[in-house]
Structure 1
């Protein structure tokens, strides 16, 4: 059989063939193993991952109420999951007065102007519409305690979190490029060596073409591959905000509508077991106290399926 060799496309951010081949070969039985005991990888049945995430967030909110302590959250955009958290809050009459929540990212236009909070495709809109606004008014925190990116606060976003004592937890999940929030591996705004990169804070970033493709499959954009529907830039937290959080919960469970097709399967292996490098932004979590939730589908062995096309 012919041995056809080629180099990865110029658009692929991380190209080390030896590393990719190594992580591609990681089997399901080995994916939970890691040298850092504070980096805890657990594989769950697909149907359980969302409930584990919901349980973690609700439990933190409940404990903050019991101890009357401040809880500072950096939140991603799992819109349906927020509704489950709110049902538990309202059913148990859990006060959220001590919660301070920050959206981890938001879209921006080609000039770097951040999408307004009432833009229904945005992450700030989702955080309010699916989370804050559904909390019983008697249980809600002050509205200013839920914060999204704006043109006015982008330069102070990291400081706003720091002034509250830093985030207690940062929730995340890898994008197709290995991005965390919108910390893209090939964005000029995040160019630099590892130590310099680790100190970079919130900023406007140019989105990768792969991120545009990934997000064009979101239900909010019609799940139709409409690349033109996704804004070209975004506001995002930086590595500094992630690293300074007291804890992190990272979720790997994205599939194409419940099938075994997942663009996340290879990136999960690179993030969890590849080198720690700005070229794989989520890899920084390997050095930090993090709970990683991986679905069985994301953990599946990577091998050809000759009975499938797309």
Structure 2
């Protein structure tokens, strides 16, 4: 595809999703953290709630976010963080939070426990999709009046959260998918095992629970960060390719306020 050959200098020209280029990876993560803090600050000043969809991947924004919150004494008491997904056992139970792969464990270790207890939101405002109650996420979002910003990244198959491609669905059908448990595709397991388990593929879970495309696309804003070498191809297909359920990130072309922050590595041409 011609879009894989778009140069770093030309990337963004004619793109169907807005691309921004903060610089290196720390600059991308800092930009995402700043966006989180700025949104909460503005909502707090207006006496309004803040509702985020949050990823565990990318994660580089969280140390910046924690420091800004603590330094600024920014209250998160009116914030709801809805995490995108979690790995499951073969019996469709959450993996244990003590497992190094657990997204629940990560958020506790790196985010919630690092924020001053006087500032952090209560546990009931830290939401994870539950395979035993998949409708809960949508109920929470509706009760809060919608999601302000969905943060995240792009997976190797174009997946957002664990919304893996479903080539048999129309764009409209795929966009309507809600929170559910599902199989993780082999490409995703291989890529994640390389990044998280040094290639220990047989120890990667086969199942996950994920919020749906409906929840992500329903957010008022979407902000993604891409930073790996293989993101060169992913961001180009997302921003220039045909909108299709075969590459979920392309659906953001139809979103009114979506931005992808691209680091200097992912900005280079794919090949």
Q: Do the two structures share a fold, i.e. TM-score over 0.5?
A: yes
* Residue equivalent to 1:18: none
Deviations 1:77-102 (A, max 9, x none): 14443122111111111111110011
* Residue equivalent to 2:21: 43
* Residue equivalent to 1:182: 162
Normalised TM-score (structure 2): 0.92
From 23, 27, 42, give the equivalent of 2:3: 23
The question of whether the paired residues in 1 share the 8 Å contact of 2:82 and 2:127 is answered with yes
* Residue equivalent to 2:87: 107
* Residue equivalent to 1:236: 210
Secondary structure of the residue that 1:170 maps to in structure 2? Answer: strand
* Residue equivalent to 1:227: 201
* Residue equivalent to 1:202: 179
Q: Does 1:85 align with 2:65?
A: yes
From 263, 267, 270, give the equivalent of 1:299: 267
User: Aligned partners of 2:34, 2:172: CA distance in 1, in Å?
Assistant: 34
User: Aligned partners of 1:67, 1:103: CA distance in 2, in Å?
Assistant: 25
After superposition, residues 1-16 of structure 1 pair within 5 angstroms as none
Secondary structure of the residue that 2:158 maps to in structure 1? Answer: coil
The question of whether the paired residues in 1 share the 8 Å contact of 2:129 and 2:211 is answered with no
* Residue equivalent to 2:239: 272
Q: Which runs of 5+ in 2 are unaligned?
A: none
User: Aligned partners of 2:237, 2:59: CA distance in 1, in Å?
Assistant: 26
Q: CA RMSD in A?
A: 1.8
User: Aligned partners of 1:241, 1:281: CA distance in 2, in Å?
Assistant: 13
Secondary structure of the residue that 2:164 maps to in structure 1? Answer: coil
The question of whether the paired residues in 2 share the 8 Å contact of 1:79 and 1:126 is answered with no
Q: Does 1:166 align with 2:131?
A: no
The question of whether the paired residues in 1 share the 8 Å contact of 2:15 and 2:239 is answered with no
User: Aligned partners of 1:166, 1:128: CA distance in 2, in Å?
Assistant: 24
* Residue equivalent to 2:105: 125
Higher relative contact order (CA 8 A, sep 6+): 2
Secondary structure of the residue that 1:153 maps to in structure 2? Answer: coil
Number of paired residues? 268
- Return the index of the structure with the highest Cα Rg: 1
User: Aligned partners of 1:148, 1:125: CA distance in 2, in Å?
Assistant: 11
